[in-house]
Amino acid sequence: MNKKFTPSNLPQPDRVLDLDLDGSIGFLISDTARHVKRLLYGPIAQHGIRGGSWFVLRALWENDGLTQRELANRLGMTQPSTLEILRVMEREGLVRFERDTVDRRKLRIYITEYANTIKTPLLRIATEANSVLLGRLSQAEELLLKVMLRTVRSSAADAIAKFELNATAKKQPEALNLLDEAREGGERKRVAVKRVPRTPEPGKTTSNKKRKA
């Protein structure tokens, strides 16, 4: 059975866990994200934009012409999930695919003219939502919040990457040992069923041909 990543697999810092749900950093981040989405996704949906498309648009407005892999890495998503969203956005006229002029194996994703026409109103909605979210913070507190969130994100990403690397390193030797055992088992079976020629008893012949009269 494959081991899954859980916080208990990692060394625990000398901090007392706050049993109050609202004191949990994981819950606070998750619950805040839920409220942020409700605040933002409702207004942009009035322009026909799905929530899943929003950050794809943001990434492409920032850097148009990314490959699928580059876009997935930028958004922290898997490539299949990214492609699924992109195909929907393509049907909705928001993005288009083009072959890379140098490496024809690569597909690059570009913003359409229609997506550019709705850029200004969508960014206005995002700015208004941002003002609501940060309205009670000073500029210094806002900067500090962003630094802290990036640090928390980086710590989580590093821990997960380390765990997955260790899990892979442990699984590979096991897989190799199983492969070797399977090969040895196959060799033993072949040896067991190998027919050994019998030596004819004196006075008898092994020929199936009838003797001529």
Instruction: Tell me which amino acid residue 153 is.
Output: R
If you average pLDDT over residues 79-88, what whole number do you get? Answer: 94
Q: How confident is the model at residue 104 (pLDDT cuts 50, 70, 90)?
A: confident
CA gap 111, 63 in Å, rounded: 10
Q: Over the stretch 14-26, which tens digit does the pLDDT of each residue have?
A: 666 667 888 899 9
User: Tokens in use for 115?
Assistant: 């997506």
Q: What is the pTM of this model?
A: 0.67
Q: How many CB atoms lie within 10 A of CB 115?
A: 23
If you average pLDDT over residues 207-211, what whole number do you get? Answer: 49
If you average pLDDT over residues 158-167, what whole number do you get? Answer: 90
Residue percentage of the chain with pLDDT more than 70: 72
pLDDT at 159: 94
Are 53 and 85 in contact by the 8 Å Cβ rule? The answer is: yes
Sign for the pseudo-dihedral over CA of 179, 183, 189, 193: positive
pLDDT at 118: 96
If you average pLDDT over residues 102-128, what whole number do you get? Answer: 94
Q: How is the chain split into domains, by residue range?
A: 22-136, 138-194
If you average pLDDT over residues 192-206, what whole number do you get? Answer: 55
Q: Over the stretch 30-74, which tens digit does the pLDDT of each residue have?
A: 999 999 999 999 999 999 999 999 999 999 999 999 999 999 999
CA gap 90, 212 in Å, rounded: 86
pLDDT at 213: 41
User: Tokens in use for 17?
Assistant: 């866990």
If you average pLDDT over residues 145-160, what whole number do you get? Answer: 95
CA gap 155, 151 in Å, rounded: 6
User: Tokens in use for 181?
Assistant: 């055992």
pLDDT at 211: 47
User: Tokens in use for 156?
Assistant: 């989580």
The CATH-assigned architecture of domain 22-136 is Orthogonal Bundle (1.10)
